């Protein structure tokens, strides 16, 4: 519900912050949209009774509803959190810095 609250009524120029520090995990991907066959999840305090929050749900709740011009800053400190927003981007970082170019 807090994720819904965060994006509710946001508009261009707004800057939102989502922070999660806690457990993260993975579960089998049943929709076929994950290359590795697993969805990433967040494990909130009540996950044993209410279930984990799956990356597809996080994307549908926090990312897709954002209107153009809204910035979302997501700080996620959890295992398997690298793709927990299910963004369609891939970051490749070169370990070598070439100076003078």
List, run by run, the mean pLDDT of 10-residue segments along the chain (101 residues): 95 97 94 89 95 95 96 94 83 65 52
Q: What is the pLDDT of residue 98?
A: 62
| Residues with catalytic roles | 23, 79
Range of the domain at 71: 2-83
Q: What are phi and psi of 58, to 5 degrees?
A: -65, -45
91 part of a folded domain: no
Cβ pair 33, 90 in contact under 8 A: no
In-domain check, residue 95: no
Structure pTM? 0.82
Q: Give the model's pLDDT for residue 100.
A: 60
Exposed/middle/buried for residue 12 (C-beta within 10 Å: 0-12, 13-18, 19+): exposed
pLDDT at res. 23 = 95
Q: Is 97 exposed, middle or buried (0-12, 13-18, 19+ CB in 10 A)?
A: exposed
Report the first-to-last Cα separation within the chain, whole angstroms.
Answer: 48
Q: How many domains does the chain have?
A: 1
Residue 88 placed within a domain: no
Q: Within a domain: residue 8?
A: yes
């Amino acid at each position: 519900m807090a994720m819904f609250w965060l994006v509710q009524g946001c508009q261009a120029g707004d800057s939102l912050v989502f922070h999660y520090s806690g457990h993260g995990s993975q579960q089998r991907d049943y929709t076929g949209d994950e290359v590795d066959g697993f969805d990433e999840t967040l494990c909130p305090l009540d996950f044993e009774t209410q279930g984990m929050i799956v990356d597809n749900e996080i994307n549908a709740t926090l990312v897709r509803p954002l209107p153009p011009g809204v910035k979302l800053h997501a700080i996620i400190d959890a295992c398997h959190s690298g793709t927990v927003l299910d963004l369609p981007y891939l970051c490749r970082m070169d370990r070598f810095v070439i100076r003078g170019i």
